[in-house]
Chain A
Amino acid sequence: EPEVTQTPSHQVTQMGQEVILRCVPISNHLYFYWYRQILGQKVEFLVSFYNNEISEKSEIFDDQFSVERPDGSNFTLKIRSTKLEDSAMYFCASRPSLGYTGELFFGEGSRLTVL
């Protein structure tokens, strides 16, 4: 069964360092998302991406964050200068097409720990 894959599964970084989280969405999907979940809290929307551009972003997604689809398969989230409060689980999700009104498919997440 096709799945969304994320790497790394866990990254530990020092405050102020840049981090790139990678996602490979399901191959025929066109819409991509990043969500964040601080430990024990709810899953929060960060950004949606379609046709090589951001279609919506939340207030959490400030200038420190950026997303990119550098090739036909990867979808990345970059945090330029990490802060302690960026420590969270980051989930990538994807869905097929504009007319599809169903499930968002989530990856297993990348745990980011900022020291």
Chain B
Amino acid sequence: QQQVKQSPQSLIVQKGGIPIINCAYENTAFDYFPWYQQFPGKGPALLIAIRPDVSEKKEGRFTISFNKSAKQFSLHIMDSQPGDSATYFCAATSSSGTYKYIFGTGTRLKVLA
């Protein structure tokens, strides 16, 4: 129940493409769903996050779509650039506990120039 399943494991797109990364969770107590971006040798950095009271959130070229009934959420990167090449982690947490994040397994994205 604590798992967050993430797919795909890796993704290669052409510059300008729209990579989509999907995550699914089981614990209905989760109420905050962030996406983190990690470059090699660096710590995870928050990209965008959503709460279950909205179905979509957009920040710049990054969009989260959230389906509460299916317990799924996804990250879309519009007009992807080579600089977006990184590993992306979804996560989930419950604000009623210690707020620990449960991370997905990560998606290694490569955007070709």
Say yes or no: B42 contacts A108, CB within 8 Å. yes
Q: Which of B14-22, B44-52, B69-77 interfaces with chain A? A: B44-52
Contacts of B104 in A (CB 8 A): 42
Say yes or no: B43 contacts A107, CB within 8 Å. yes
Say yes or no: B46 contacts A103, CB within 8 Å. yes
Closest chain B CB from A97 CB (angstroms): 10
Say yes or no: A42 contacts B42, CB within 8 Å. no
Closest chain B CB from A46 CB (angstroms): 9
Contacts of B106 in A (CB 8 A): 41-43
In Å, the complex CA distance between A55 and B99 comes to: 10
Say yes or no: B100 contacts A101, CB within 8 Å. no
Say yes or no: A91 contacts B105, CB within 8 Å. no
Say yes or no: A42 contacts B103, CB within 8 Å. yes
Contacts of A41 in B (CB 8 A): 105-106
In Å, the complex CA distance between A31 and B104 comes to: 22
